[in-house]
């Protein structure tokens, strides 16, 4: 049982904001399988602000998402593509090109696996500075790919 406090639309997705066990929670409406109106009343908290609750809830959700940060050096030739693929990577900061042409940057991914696969997709156009463990795992993954295709050379 919940005490309904409001509905919020985020794009095409609706959320029921409700109190349950003295806690306010968000429920995705599409996941509600059944609802029944009961003949009971509840007192809406006088200080409840639906918009304020929703903003705070979104911030908590975003801050709880996994983050995997990577320091890299990139070839200038891929900068436009890096900036275009914002769904997969967040560019935290990007420096001006150094004397050797490479650009230092901080990238943020959801997981190490996403970072590994994304960076490997750029071949020799991204150098991993840190973490060293990622540099090692990308190297191992690259070797696997090379070995896979060596089978077809014979």
Ranges 14-18, 64-68, 98-102, 106-110: which has the least confidence: 64-68
Query: Looking at residues 95-122, what average pLDDT do you find?
Result: 93
Question: Per the structure block, which two tokens stand in for 132?
Answer: 């060293």
- Return the C-alpha torsion angle 42, 45, 50, 55, nearest 10: -130
pLDDT at 56: 92
pLDDT above 70 (res 72): yes
The two structure tokens encoding residue 56: 């705070």
Q: CB pairs under 8 A, 24+ apart, for 19-22?
A: 19/45
| Mean pLDDT score across all residues of the chain | 91
Distance set, CA 121 to CA 32, 41, 104, 115, 127 (Å):
40, 58, 18, 10, 12
Q: What are 94's strand-pairing partners?
A: 105
Task: Give residue 66's pLDDT.
Answer: 79
Residue-wise pLDDT for 47-56, tens only, equals: 999 999 999 9
| The pairing of beta strand 23-28 with beta strand 68-74 | unpaired
**pLDDT: which is higher, 92 or 66:** 92
Fold that domain 68-150 belongs to in CATH: Alpha-Beta Plaits (3.30.70)
Determine the Cα–Cα distance for residues 30 and 41; give it in Å rounded to an integer.
25
For residue 154, what pLDDT is reported? 65
Query: What letters, b where the CB count within 10 A reaches 16 and e where it falls short, cover 120-150?
Result: bebeebbebeeeeebbebbeeeeeeeeeeee
CB-neighbour burial class of residue 119 (10 A; exposed 0-12, middle 13-18, buried 19+): buried
Q: Bigger pLDDT: 46 or 71?
A: 71
The residue-averaged pLDDT of 119-123 equals 93
Task: Provide mean pLDDT across the span 121-142.
Answer: 95
Model confidence band, residue 116 (pLDDT cutoffs 50, 70, 90): very high
pLDDT-derived band at 81 (thresholds 50, 70, 90) equals confident
Q: What tokens does 78 get?
A: 């891929």
């Amino acid at each position: 049982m919940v005490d309904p406090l409001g509905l919020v639309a985020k794009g095409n997705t609706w959320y029921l904001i409700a109190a349950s066990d003295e806690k306010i929670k968000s429920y995705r409406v599409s996941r509600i399988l059944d609802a029944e109106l009961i003949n009971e009343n509840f007192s809406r908290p006088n200080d409840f602000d639906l918009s304020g609750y929703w903003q705070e809830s979104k911030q908590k959700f975003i801050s709880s998402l996994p983050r995997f940060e990577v320091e890299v050096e990139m070839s200038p030739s891929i900068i436009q593509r890096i900036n275009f693929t914002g769904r997969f990577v967040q560019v935290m900061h990007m420096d001006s090109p150094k004397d050797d042409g490479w650009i230092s940057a901080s990238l943020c991914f959801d997981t190490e696996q996403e970072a590994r696969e994304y960076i490997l997709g750029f071949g020799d156009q991204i150098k991993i500075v840190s973490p060293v463990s990622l540099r090692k795992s990308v190297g191992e993954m690259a070797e696997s790919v090379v070995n896979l295709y060596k089978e077809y050379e014979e």
